[in-house]
Amino acid sequence: MLRSWTLAYICNTVRFLMADPLQERFIRPIVNASYPGTLGALSLTVYRIMELRGGTIPVILKNTLLIGATAFLLSAFCMFFYSLYPTRQKLWTMTAVLFLGGLFLTIISVILLFFA
């Protein structure tokens, strides 16, 4: 009998393998922090591609990309530590504010890319 490799089956397998609460406690913060960290890396990638393209990058576009990437990376750090210490509400607030700031700056940089 062949098993179907559905997402639900894979998630149940991962939960079974991570049955140890100690292991789950230390892996969950890394997984949670990877989401905003990926968005920060994408912002830096766009900045690097614009830089390699050759032309001059407008200063406002450069600043919005770099500040947005920094906001996402700081959000990832805050989310990592909030996953370790869930009683620290300031970390959750900082995560939300930095993540929303990074999203706002990403939207602004996309609008600026149309005019660059």
Is 73 among the domain residues? yes
Domain tally, the chain: 1
Is 21 among the domain residues? no
Rounded Cα distance between 2 and 10, Å, is 14
Is 36 among the domain residues? yes
- Given a cut of 90, whether residue 25 has pLDDT beyond it is no
**DSSP letter for each residue of the chain:** -PPP--HHHHHHHHHHHT--HHHHHHHHHHHHHHHHHHHHHHHHHHHHHHHHTSSPPPHHHHHHHHHHHHHHHHHHHHHHHHHH-TT-HHHHHHHHHHHHHHHHHHHHHHHHHHH-
Which residue range(s) make up the domain with 87?
Answer: 31-115
- Given a cut of 70, whether residue 17 has pLDDT beyond it is no
| Model pLDDT for residues 3-16, shown as the tens digit of each residue | 556 656 665 666 66
Is 11 among the domain residues? no
